[in-house]
Amino acid sequence: MTTTVVFTMLAVGGGLAILVIGILARVRDREKALARLLDLPYGENDVRVESVSETYGPLVEGTIEMAGRVVDQLDTKGSMTAALERARLPLRPGELVLTTAAGAVAVAMLLVGVTGSWLFGFLGLGLAPLVAAGIVRRRITKRREAIEAALPDALSLVASSLSAGHTFLRAIQMMCEEAPPALAEEFNRVVAETRLGDPLVDALGRMARRLEIRDLDWVVQAIRIQQQVGGRLAELLHTLADFIRAREEVRREISVLTAEGRISAWVLAGLAPFMLLVMQFISPDYLAPLLRGWGLVALGFTGVLVAVGSLIIFRMTKIEV
């Protein structure tokens, strides 16, 4: 591969990477402007409404809308939109698709420019969507873990407020002032929905379905039953808090015991591609037989074995509590 082609690949990849960074920075600024606008008292105009509603250029905006329509046709259940909402990523499905596609092409161009092999470019194209999906799932997992860890203390705080004579809604509002951001955001949304006329129990049930957290499902079901049959809600919440706290301790102990297995899976899964990339960069002639003919078959079979082995290890270390 000539030097001109290599520099062209690097330039195209760098340009697409800049495009991805620009879209993400624009989304972040739009979210911050919207947050400032919502926090202003009524009648303030320190933040322009246009700053949170302005669009990209016609070409980019049209591409995003087209990608969004494709996603709507393929994802009829709205799984991508729900995943972005659970991950608290301020991206529309079309923006995510466009960002992932541009990032995939950028990575592919950079790999081709660095290694001089089109095979690594195709691998970059295939791995970029998987990496994007993994980032979304990772954010959902981290946010779910943060909510699960903070839920017992939040229930205890709500129960104490109920014992002090506050209403259930006021107790939730007071808890939101003390709870960590992830949990406070969700319960603030519940409070906002009740202000719009939605029953409190229904708003809590919608939050539980949105987050897909088993502990929260149990809490909502217990509150719903208590609202129907009566009883002391404060004592019920104290009991649920103790039960969830005990489950969280068991979950953390299991996480510590399975940490070695998870790290081994990540190392085994990433070692082979990393060494392949390094060897191609250092000595391309050494790997030349593997990049043609039966060598490609051997590489594909090896990749399948590595993926299956890593999946088995991850399944072995994933223990439901």
How close are the terminal C-alpha atoms of the chain, in Å?
Answer: 54
CA distance 193 to 189: 6
CA distance 147 to 187: 11
Both structure tokens of 301: 């079979």
CA distance 87 to 135: 9
Counting Cα atoms < 13 Å in the Cβ hemisphere of 168 gives 15
**Per residue in 68-92, is it b (16+ CB within 10 Å) or e — as a string?**
beebeeeeeeeebbebbebbebebb
**DSSP classification of residue 293:** T
Both structure tokens of 167: 């209403």
Q: Which candidate, 252, 279, 269, places its Cα nearest to that of 305?
A: 269
- How far lies 265's CA from each of 131, 174, 258, 270, 321, in Å? 16, 43, 11, 9, 21
- How far lies 110's CA from each of 7, 56, 126, 252, 289, in Å? 10, 26, 14, 40, 23
User: C-alpha angle with apex 158: 152 to 164, nearest 5 degrees?
Assistant: 140
3-state secondary structure of 268: helix
The CATH T-level fold of domain 144-248 is: Receptor-associated Protein (1.20.81)
DSSP class per residue in 177-205:
HHS-HHHHHHHHHHHHHHHTT--HHHHHH
CA distance 201 to 209: 12
Domain borders along the chain are: 1-116, 144-248, 258-321
The amino acid present at 118, given as its one-letter code, is: W
pLDDT in tens, the chain (321 residues): 555 555 565 565 556 566 666 665 665 565 555 555 555 454 445 555 444 444 555 655 666 677 777 777 777 777 888 888 888 877 777 777 777 777 777 777 777 777 777 777 777 777 888 888 888 888 888 888 888 888 888 888 988 888 888 888 888 888 888 888 888 888 888 888 888 888 888 888 888 888 888 888 888 888 888 888 877 888 888 888 888 888 888 888 888 888 888 888 888 888 888 888 788 778 777 777 777 778 778 888 888 888 888 888 888 888 776
Structural contact between residues 68 and 92, judged by C-beta atoms closer than 8 angstroms: yes
φ and ψ at residue 7, rounded to 5 degrees: -65, -35
Counting Cα atoms < 13 Å in the Cβ hemisphere of 68 gives 12
The pLDDT, as a whole number, for residue 52 is 47
- How far lies 10's CA from each of 15, 102, 111, 193, 277, in Å? 8, 14, 9, 49, 17
Structural contact between residues 176 and 188, judged by C-beta atoms closer than 8 angstroms: yes
Q: Is the overall model pTM greater than 0.75, yes or no?
A: no
